[in-house]
Amino acid sequence: MSRTFTRRRVLGEVSCAGIGTATLMSSLINLKLAGNAAADALLPGNDRKTVVNVLLAGGCDTFNLLLRRDSGYAEYAASRSSLALPNDASLHPLTQISGNDGNLYALHPSCAGLADLFNGAGDFPGTPRLAFITNVGTLVEPTTLSDYLSASVVLPKSLFSHIDQIEQWQTSVPQGMAELRGWGGRMADVLHSAANTGATAMSISLAGNNIYQIGDSTKQMAITRNGALLFESEWDWTQEHHLKNEGLMSLVELQNRHLMRDSFSRHTKESIEAQQAFKVHWDVVEPGFDGLLTDASFPDTYFGKNLRAAAITIKIRADLGLRRNSIFINFGGWDHHGELLNTQAGMLTDLSEGLYQFQLALEELGLAQDVVTFTSSDFGRTLRSNGRGSDHAWGGNAMVMGEPVAGGKVYGTFPSLAIDGADDVGKGGRILPSTSVDVFFAEIARWFGVSATDLPYVLPNIENFIDPVSASQPVGFIKSGRIV
Domain locations in the chain?
38-464
**Is the pLDDT confidence value at 173 over 70?**
yes
Average pLDDT, integer, range 116-138: 98
First-to-last CA distance in the chain? 16
Lowest-confidence segment of 176-190, 236-250, 311-325 by average pLDDT: 236-250
Cβ-in-10-Å burial (0-12, 13-18, 19+) of 476 comes to middle
pLDDT, tens digit (0-9, with 9 covering 90-100), for 130-147:
999 999 999 999 999 999
Average pLDDT, integer, range 375-400: 97
Nearest in space to 250 (alpha carbons), one of 276, 268, 263, 228? 268
**Is the pLDDT confidence value at 169 over 50?**
yes
d(CA 318, CA 48): 8
**Is the pLDDT confidence value at 299 over 50?**
yes
Band the pLDDT of 224: cuts 50, 70, 90: very high
> What does the buried/exposed string (b/e) look like for 285-297 if buried means 16 or more CB atoms within 10 Å of the residue's CB?
ebeebeeebeebe
Band the pLDDT of 27: cuts 50, 70, 90: low
182's torsion region: left (phi>0), alpha (psi -120 to 50) or beta? beta
pLDDT value of residue 15: 35
Band the pLDDT of 272: cuts 50, 70, 90: confident
Band the pLDDT of 19: cuts 50, 70, 90: very low
Band the pLDDT of 266: cuts 50, 70, 90: low
Average pLDDT, integer, range 31-52: 68
Instruction: Kindly state the greatest CA–CA separation across the chain.
Output: 72
d(CA 203, CA 77): 42
**Is the pLDDT confidence value at 262 over 70?**
no
Band the pLDDT of 116: cuts 50, 70, 90: very high
Q: How many residues does the chain have?
A: 484
pLDDT, tens digit (0-9, with 9 covering 90-100), for 420-475:
999 999 999 999 999 999 999 999 999 999 999 999 999 999 999 999 999 899 99
pLDDT value of residue 39: 43
**Is the pLDDT confidence value at 264 over 50?**
no
pLDDT value of residue 383: 98
Band the pLDDT of 9: cuts 50, 70, 90: very low
199 vs 382: which has the higher pLDDT: 382
φ, ψ of residue 270 in degrees (nearest 5)? -60, -40
203 vs 481: which has the higher pLDDT: 203
- Return the percentage of the chain with pLDDT > 70, whole number: 83
Average pLDDT, integer, range 205-220: 95
pLDDT value of residue 43: 81
> Would you give the DSSP letter of residue 386?
-
Average pLDDT, integer, range 362-367: 98
Architecture of the structural domain at 38-464: 3-Layer(aba) Sandwich (3.40)
Local structure of 107: helix, strand or coil: strand
d(CA 271, CA 262): 14
Q: Is residue 15 a contact partner of residue 174, using CB atoms and an 8 Å limit?
A: no
Helix and strand counts by DSSP (H, E) for the chain: 12, 12
Question: How does strand 410-411 pair with strand 130-137?
Answer: parallel
Average pLDDT, the chain: 88
Nearest in space to 203 (alpha carbons), one of 187, 190, 216? 187
